[in-house]
Amino acid sequence: MSRSLIRRAIDLAFPKGPPYVPKPDGDMEAYRDGEATILESIRDDVISMSYMRDPARTPRLEDLELEFGRADNQTLSDATRRSLLRPVRYPKKTTGNDDDLQTRLDNAGFDLIVYNNSPDGPAIDPDILMDQSFQLQALSGDYYAGNDAAYAGRIGGEWLVNGPVYEQFRGVFGAGDMYAGNTNSVAGYFEEFYRTTIEYDTPIDAEAWPFCFFVGGVADINPATGEIIGIDQGLVPRSERKQLEDIILKFKGLYTWCGLIVTFT
């Protein structure tokens, strides 16, 4: 019968000779097996600690995600969560230039283009491209509900700097029937906590504009000045948003702001 490493070590600790050889299924045999089982569990725990910060094998996946700023998303499988955590845990060195980031996006299958501000001309006010607004896209003269030729479309973008920053606040105070003894009407009553994402404001200092770059669809460039006039909305499936943001945050240059001009479908 094959015995564990710990059980063999216990046997070697006893003197040699027939008096110290346990009988099969005897009390001494059971004692040594029990002691070996306990020590094996301790040995396994000690070994697992060496993998504590390895995304592929850590026994404390939630703690490692918290350390590196990733949300504990229980809708994803453990295998997916570990694969998404690995590039954050083991970041590769990068030059942080737009060509490097463009290569990474291409390799990941994103049909998006990276633009400096501006590629061949002076830096423009990013607010020209980033200002969020809605406009009516007209492809024909017929405007009526349900007509695909006329629809509301978003233009503009959102800033991706260092990942999301959240603000937490209490929910709406309970109203209900206002009478003595009703716990829903006491001061300080609230339903639950809410969390919203804080949006970055577009820099107004012109000296900061060269540190802004854009990721989106095809750009319209002024041939005379080289300035970016507009950038079409890139299209990315909503399920791939996190992957896109992770790539940009990992490979963008230090101290740069990414203007994400993308519609998530």
- Residue 228, pLDDT > 60, answer yes
The per-residue pLDDT for 216 is 93
177: pLDDT confidence band, cut at 50, 70 and 90? low
Summarize pLDDT for 250-259 with one digit per residue, the tens: 888 878 899 9
- Residue 126, pLDDT > 60, answer yes
Which phi and psi (to 5°) does residue 72 adopt?
A: -80, 90
144: pLDDT confidence band, cut at 50, 70 and 90? very low
CB atoms within 10 A of CB 39: 16
79: pLDDT confidence band, cut at 50, 70 and 90? confident
- Write the DSSP string, 204-235: --GGGGGGEEEEESPEEE-TTT--EEEEPPEE
Percentage of residues in the chain with pLDDT exceeding 70?
73
Q: Mean pLDDT over all residues of the chain?
A: 77
Q: Helix H segments across the chain?
A: 5-13, 27-49, 61-67, 78-89, 98-107, 127-130, 241-251
Cβ neighbors of 71 (< 8 A, separation 6 or more) are: 65
- Residue 149, pLDDT > 70, answer no
The pair of three-digit structure tokens given for residue 30, joined into one six-digit string: 């059971």
Q: Rounded to whole angstroms, how far apart are CA atoms 211 and 257?
A: 6
- Residue 54, pLDDT > 70, answer yes
145: pLDDT confidence band, cut at 50, 70 and 90? very low
92: pLDDT confidence band, cut at 50, 70 and 90? low
**Whether this model's pTM surpasses 0.75:** no
Q: Which of 253, 254, 10 is CA-nearest to residue 114? A: 253
